[in-house]
Chain A
C-alpha cells in the first residue's frame, strides 16, 4: 500500500492531453515538493519533473507538473506512442522522515 495515491491506469490517443493525479496529505504533498518519474518496462525510473514543475535537461516541454494543496498533477500534451510507461509521483514525508512514492499510473496510448 503506497503512501501517495495515483490512479492505476490512464489512457489517451495520439496528440491528446492527459493528466495523472497524485494525492497525499499534509505530511507529504501538502507541505513538500513533488517529483515525478517515468519508467519504461524493464528499465530504471527516470526523473521527469522535479520541485513540482521543473523539467530536467532533455525532458520536452510537453511534460508539465503542478501542485495544489495535498494533490499534484502531471500533464502530458501532444501524446505520443513512446509515452506509454508507468508514471510515479514522490514527495518527502515529514512524519515518516523519508521519501514516499505513489503506486504508479500505467499510461496507455490507444
Chain B
C-alpha cells in the first residue's frame, strides 16, 4: 500500500533551520508530485509548496520563497523540506502529501498524507 513516512519531531531555536524528510513507498515515486503543508496549533492548513520528483522542479508559496527548499532523492524515494530562518510562528505540524493522481494532475487534491512532523521553534 502507498505510505508516506516522515521523520521525527524537531525542537529548534529561532534563526536556525530544520529539515524534514518524507520517505515514500508502494508506488512509482517519479509519477506523482508531492506537496508540503503545515498546520499551526488550532489553525487551518497552510501550503508551502510542491516538488515534481522527475526533475526536481519546485513551486513555492510566495510567503515562503527564499526560506524553503524542497529536494528529492530518487534512489530512496524520499523528499525533503528545509525551512530556514525559523521563527516562533513556524511552530507547526508539517505534512508531506502526494497528488491524488499521477502525471502532474495538480488539481485533484492530496492523498495520502504523511503522519506529520511536529516542529517546535523555541528559545
A interface, CB within 8 angstroms of B: 2, 32-33, 35, 37, 44-47, 50-51, 54, 56, 88, 90, 92, 96-104
Contact = CB atoms under 8 A, between A and B. Distances in A.
Contact of A46 (B35, B44, B113): B113
Q: Looking at chain B, what size class is its interface with the partner chain? A: 20 to 34
B32 interface: no
A44 to B, nearest CB: 4
Interface in B52-69: 59, 61-63
Task: Give the interface SS of chain A, mostly helix, strand, loop or mixed.
Answer: strand
B62 A45 contact: no
Contacts of B109: 35, 37, 47, 50-51, 56, 90
Contacts of B49: 98
Contact of A103 (B44, B95, B110, B115): B44
Contacts of B106: 92
B47 A98 contact: yes
